[in-house]
Amino acid sequence: MTTEIERAHSTESGAQTPRMPQTPGGFPARRMRRLRRSEGLRRLTRETMLDPGDFIFPLFVSEVISEPVAISSMPGQYQWPVSEMGRRAEELARLGVGAALLFGVPAHKDEIGSSAWNEQGPVQRAIREMKAAAPDVVIVTDVCMCEYTSHGHCGLVRDGEVQNDETLDLLTREALSHAAAGADIVAPSDMMDGRVAALRAGLDGAGFSNTPILAYSAKFASAFYGPFREAAESAPQFGDRRAYQMDPANGREALREVELDLLEGADMVMVKPALPYLDVLARVRDRWDLPIAAYNVSGEYSMLKAAVANGWLDERRATLEALTSIKRAGADMIITYHAIEAARWLAES
């Protein structure tokens, strides 16, 4: 694309400084402020719009509680008992929020995370409650082992190391049980190699060839997941996740991750976290045309809430600006804990 300044430059052979187009009076012909003068003009020329239909709201469903439990590190967020999930779905439907993303907090954890594929597990029961209450709300499930394993790692551990290939079978069983319970989309977040292909084969083989996969493709080993681990009770009991999640320094590698997931059959891909990785999001957008999700993670949410609680930021403006920037960088969908409040603000404006 040639800019106005470059065009002006190229007509002046040998000119050292670019010449702006000018009116006879000597004023700049191009005044950028003209289109900013009124809300009507700003709205007309706005490039990026937020729509609650593009929001995905994460929900933590626990089978060990009977009342909602506030998550202290994420003000305004709760662990929900299964019995509340119908009402959660109705609220999302009422506000026009696009989808829910479910995380389970099971009563029982073991070495292999066997609660993950329990038909009566918290996520499986929540899906049925939500579908019965509000069948049109799209349900996405997080497919990972860390909430279900006693050691808190995202896969099977042997000799202190997370085993890639053996984990694929466990993830497949989990995804199948979510699909069987009625999940609309399964979203593997474990970062094992080959998991999209394994899930696709497993789903197709069990009659779920119409269940899409949203792959957490570029998922970085991020400090910003801190508050989530309290919410999902999924902190690793030893070590960290850097041997399977991505190094925050790597942008090109994220493109390779996305490419592999696409080759393996992912229907949609994700960049996570969102705000510290908008450059990665924009590069993925430039390169591919499939739907892209960005995960505005727990730490991004908690930072903003903390600043608001201190009176340092205007909550509504800061939140909507952050969400807009994620959309502008190229996300089609935003997974965000702000979904409910943002949907309310958008309905008011």
Residues with active-site annotation: 219, 272
255 contact partners, CB below 8 Å, separation of at least 6: 283, 284, 287
**What string marks each residue from 288 to 307 as x (binds ligand PBG by CB under 6 A) or -?**
---------xx---------
Phi, psi of 155 (to 5 degrees): -155, -175
Q: Is-contact 19 32, C-beta < 8 A? A: no
Unique residue bearing structure tokens 């998991």: 195
Only segment of 43-51, 140-148, 162-170, 284-292 that touches ligand PBG (CB under 6 A): 140-148
Contacts (CB under 6 A) with ligand PBG, residues 202-261: 225, 228-229, 241
Query: Minimum Å distance from CB 107 to ligand PBG?
Result: 19
Nearest approach in angstroms of CB 135 to ligand PBG is: 25
Q: Establish if 339 lies at the interface with ligand PBG (CB under 6 A).
A: no
**Residue 89 or 146 having the CB closest to ligand PBG:** 146
Q: Which residue has the tokens 């890639």?
A: 164
Residue with tokens 């049925």: 128
CB 141 within 8 Å of CB 100: no
Q: How buried is 56 (Cβ within 10 angstroms: 0-12 exposed, 13-18 middle, 19+ buried)?
A: buried
Residue nearest to ligand PBG (CB): 228
Interatomic CA distance for residues 123 and 114, integer angstroms: 13
Least Cα distance to 62 among 104, 118, 101, 121 occurs for 104
Shortest Cβ 189–ligand PBG spacing (Å)? 4
Cβ 174 to ligand PBG shortest distance, Å:
12
The answer to whether the CB of 337 falls within 8 A of the CB of 348 is: no
| 141-160 residues near ligand PBG, rule: CB under 6 A | 142, 144, 146, 154
Number of residues this chain uses to bind ligand PBG (CB under 6 A): 11
Instruction: Kindly indicate which of the ranges 79-87, 106-114, 138-146, 202-210 contains the residues binding ligand PBG, using the contact rule CB under 6 A.
Output: 138-146
Residues that bind ligand PBG (CB under 6 A): 142, 144, 146, 154, 189, 225, 228-229, 241, 297-298
